[in-house]
Amino acid sequence: MITRISVFCKYLMICLLFFGSISLIAQTTNASKENKKHCQQKMKLFSDKIILTLNQLEHSIQSEIIIDPTHFNIRTIVQIPNKQDKKVTDFTIKEIKCEMNEDMTSGQIMYLVKNDNPKSKVTNSGFILKATQKGLTFSNTTDSPEDTTVASISKYEILE
């Protein structure tokens, strides 16, 4: 009789552990999906300077970056210095890796992209939107470190 109860208790404990861990995994997955919702928002970033990491030179260049994850698109619009026209380049987002907190004060979002403009000298692999205590930056740091361009974000808007 005692062995039957003992076997039954062991079976019950195994079931509780199994179903409890499945429930915990489901809660963790749902929480991470909810926390990543902000990484799917359409944003417009504004920058008035870029820094080239190769020589740490800072350049005053006006740029606008529109990130639209729902349509898998990133558009960069750069005002070419001493010229009237702007250079517009479109990229197709292949994958998003989100490690940024909801209020966009720490972490990063990596956008792996395919360049839709073969004549562009801009990245063909990806961009990183990074948040630090100093603010937001947008860079092509998935390329080699020598070729990295970092745009300091002066302001951003969440678009509907």
What values do phi and psi take at 102, rounded to 5? -65, -35
58 in the same domain as 23: no
Cα gap 42→67, rounded to integer Å: 6
Domain count within the chain? 2
pTM of the model: 0.71
Cα gap 47→65, rounded to integer Å: 8
**In this predicted structure, which of 31-35, 140-144, 156-160 has the lowest mean pLDDT?**
31-35
Cα gap 40→67, rounded to integer Å: 9
102 in the same domain as 73: yes
**Residue 153 sits in which domain range?**
41-159
**Residue 12 parent element (H or E):** helix 2-35
**What is the DSSP-derived secondary structure letter of residue 30?**
H
Q: Give the pLDDT mean for 92-103.
A: 91
143 in the same domain as 103: yes
The one-letter amino acid code at 149 reads: T
61 in the same domain as 8: no
Question: What percent of the chain has a predicted confidence (pLDDT) above 70?
Answer: 68
What values do phi and psi take at 3, rounded to 5? -70, -35
